[in-house]
Amino acid sequence: MLSLVVSASGITKHAGRADMQARIIKGRRVKGFGVGAYYISHPYYSGWFSKLLSCKPFPGTLNIETDIDWRELAGLCEPIVVPETEWEGKHLGAVYVWRAKVETNQGTADVLVIRPLLSSHEPSVLEIVACERLSTLLKGDTIRVEVLCRGGDNESRPNTSRGRG
């Protein structure tokens, strides 16, 4: 079992796992553009998210306006990169992904925090992908997310110059 030690920097370290740290981000629910279900259900993205979550993801995202810009989060915690691709003649953009945990009214849920690099959201808006519909499992509009930072692997990042916001 892992224990958490909170440092003054706001980054927690998982005792016994030198390669794993966590960054706590806080946010509030915000309305999305209504396209999350389409993209989460798309076979390309669904395959990636299913593998990372070890379940079929709920077809939709929970959008949160956070206390951190996604680019700052990427600098603090190396993201997993879902690469851009062409699928049946349609361009699908790259997505930054971080494994995370969220407290719900049924306990702790393993989730993915994502930032599509072609997103039209403000830089402080992140999306959460989970196995279940999170909006029914959370109390209130405020959410606290423990982002699990990877250590030691140096995956290449996609070019973000085309990304919005």
Let me know if residue 157 belongs to a domain: no
- Condensed to tens digits (0 to 9), the pLDDT of residues 97-126 reads 999 999 999 999 999 999 999 999 999 999
In this structure, the dihedral spanned by the alpha carbons of residues 59, 102, 95 and 42, taken in order and rounded to 10 degrees, is -10
Let me know if residue 74 belongs to a domain: yes
With cut-offs at 50, 70 and 90, classify the pLDDT of residue 151: low
Let me know if residue 62 belongs to a domain: yes
Neighbours of 146 (CB within 10 A): 18
Q: SS3 for 127?
A: strand
Let me know if residue 108 belongs to a domain: yes
Let me know if residue 132 belongs to a domain: yes
124, 71 Cβ separation under 8 angstroms:
no
Tell me the CATH number at 61.
2.40.30.30
Let me know if residue 6 belongs to a domain: no
pLDDT at 153 > cutoff 80: no
- The parent domain of residue 103 ranges over 23-149
Q: Domain total for the chain? A: 1
Let me know if residue 16 belongs to a domain: no
Let me know if residue 119 belongs to a domain: yes
Give the DSSP H/E element, type plus range, for residue 120.
none
Give the DSSP H/E element, type plus range, for residue 135.
none
Buried b (16+ CB within 10 A) or exposed e, 96-105: bbbbbebebe
Q: What is the pTM of this model?
A: 0.80
Cα dist. 82→51, 96, 114 in Å?
12, 6, 10
Structure confidence at residue 162 (pLDDT) = 41
